[in-house]
Every structure is written in C-alpha cells, then in structure tokens.
C-alpha cells in the first residue's frame, strides 16, 4: 500500500512518514502544494494524506483538481483548520475523512486502515486465499491456522499480493506499491523478497500459493 503525504512542516511530515513506514506502508512526502498535485495526479497512490495550508497551492485546490480529473484516490485531510465549516468544505470538495491537528498518531493510523479497507471494498477486513489468512487490522498472518511471522517488507508484499489475488503483478507494479518512488526496479530485491515469502508461506505445503509468471511477474492464487 502506497501513501502520499502532502505536508510542508518537515517535522510533522517525517513523524507521519516514520509511523506509516513502521506499519509497512510505502510513503512519499511532498513538501509543497504543486509537488503534491504532481505526485497525486499520477494516480499511483492507495491513499493521500493532505494538509490544507501549503505553500504553492492550497490543499483544497489540490483535492478539487484531483476529483475534477476523476482521480478517486481516498484523501484524508489533516490540518489545524478544524472549524466545522472548514471540515464541511473539505468533505464537500471530495475528501474521505478529516482529522484535526494536533492529532494522536494511533488515531491517524486507524483512520488510514479504515480508508484503505473501504478503498479495497473489503468488508470484514480479513483477506483470505485458500488457507492463508491475513488480518490488516492486526497484521496477523496464518496459514492452516499456524501463525507466520513476517518482516515489515514481507508483510507489505504479501498484503499487496493478497489484495490482488489471481492478478499477475509485474515487478514495476510491486515496486510502486511496496517500495517508494526512488526504488530501483532493476535490482533483484523483489525476487529476493518473493523467495523469503515463499519460504514462510509455501514451504512444506502441498498447495503452493505464490506463482512465478515467466517474463511478467508474480501471482498469488489457490490453484497451481
Ligand atoms: Ca501546513
């Protein structure tokens, strides 16, 4: 899951970035409004956290442009402007949620999870393929009821594969969603991580879930 943080206060931005990265999200930060709009317009993000008072271009204008361009990425407004009419303006402009500063990081993370769940159309929150189950709320992964311990990147990769079960994911797609913008796609890091995951998910199981699609990428699915 890849998140864009549009925030001009460097301290706040790096605080949010660190918290999100600890939760295994790939994070890009835009320090002003015009960079924010440029990055957000690429439509590569699963969620955008948007400050309103920004140099360059106000957050509300970014939001309006995105919605005008039919970019439907969920947007969480995070700002010190917390009066009711300002919240209403933000939500009316197409924001999906609104959190006032100062905020508790736990609440921000909970709202992020909720928006990502909504975005993927998943109801109860559990992702399941065959006997492999992932709970995005607790980041717990089990196969056949057995708990599997994953590192942050392994978890992020597995969540992305499970959210797109049955669909072939290319290396550039994987790097875009699991790693951040400046990630070099030409390294074999993705293959290395897929192998780590295979060792934890498929090793010792008759039914393999992670499959290589030669020349394209990887797919997670029940049948071989
Ligand atoms: Ca600001």
Digit-by-digit pLDDT tens for the chain (224 residues) are 899 999 999 999 999 999 999 998 999 999 999 999 999 998 789 999 999 999 999 999 999 999 999 888 999 999 887 777 778 888 888 999 999 989 999 999 999 998 987 765 555 578 889 999 998 878 899 998 899 999 989 999 999 999 999 999 998 888 888 887 666 666 688 899 999 999 999 999 999 999 999 988 999 998 75
Grouping H, G, I as helix, E, B as strand and the rest as coil, residue 90 is: helix
Q: Using alpha carbons only, give the angle 31, 59, 21 rounded to the nearest 5 degrees.
A: 50
Residue 55 and residue 61: Cα distance in Å, rounded? Answer: 12
Grouping H, G, I as helix, E, B as strand and the rest as coil, residue 39 is: helix
Radius of gyration of the chain (CA): 18
Task: Check residue 185 and give its pLDDT.
Answer: 61
Tell me the two tokens of residue 69.
């361009």
Ligand 1 center–CA 2 separation, angstroms: 22
Ligand 1 center–CA 159 separation, angstroms: 32
Ligand 1 center–CA 52 separation, angstroms: 6
Ligand 1 center–CA 168 separation, angstroms: 39
Residue 116 and residue 57: Cα distance in Å, rounded? Answer: 26
Q: Are 195 and 187 in contact (CB under 8 A)?
A: no
Task: Check residue 118 and give its pLDDT.
Answer: 75
Q: Using alpha carbons only, give the angle 204, 208, 213 rounded to the nearest 5 degrees.
A: 140
């Amino acid at each position: 899951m890849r998140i864009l943080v549009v925030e001009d206060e460097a301290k706040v931005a790096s605080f949010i970035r660190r918290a999100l990265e600890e939760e295994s999200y790939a994070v890009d930060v835009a320090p002003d409004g015009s960079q924010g709009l440029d990055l957000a317009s690429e439509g590569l993000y699963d969620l955008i956290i948007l400050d309103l008072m920004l140099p360059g271009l106000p957050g509300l204008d970014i939001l309006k442009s995105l919605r005008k361009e039919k970019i439907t990425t969920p947007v969480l407004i995070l700002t010190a402007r917390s009066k009711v009419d300002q919240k209403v303006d933000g939500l009316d402009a197409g924001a999906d949620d609104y959190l006032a500063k100062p905020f508790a990081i736990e609440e921000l993370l909970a709202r992020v999870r909720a928006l990502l769940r909504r975005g993927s159309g998943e109801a109860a929150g559990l992702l399941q393929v065959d006997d492999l189950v992932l709970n995005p709320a607790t980041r717990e992964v089990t196969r056949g009821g057995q708990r599997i311990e994953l590192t942050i990147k392994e978890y992020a990769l597995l969540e992305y594969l499970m959210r797109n079960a049955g669909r072939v994911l290319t290396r550039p797609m994987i790097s875009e969603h699991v790693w951040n913008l400046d990630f070099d796609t030409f390294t074999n890091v993705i293959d290395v991580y897929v192998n780590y995951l295979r060792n934890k998910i498929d090793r010792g199981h008759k039914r393999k879930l992670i499959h290589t699609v030669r020349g394209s990428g990887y797919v997670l699915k029940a049948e071989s």
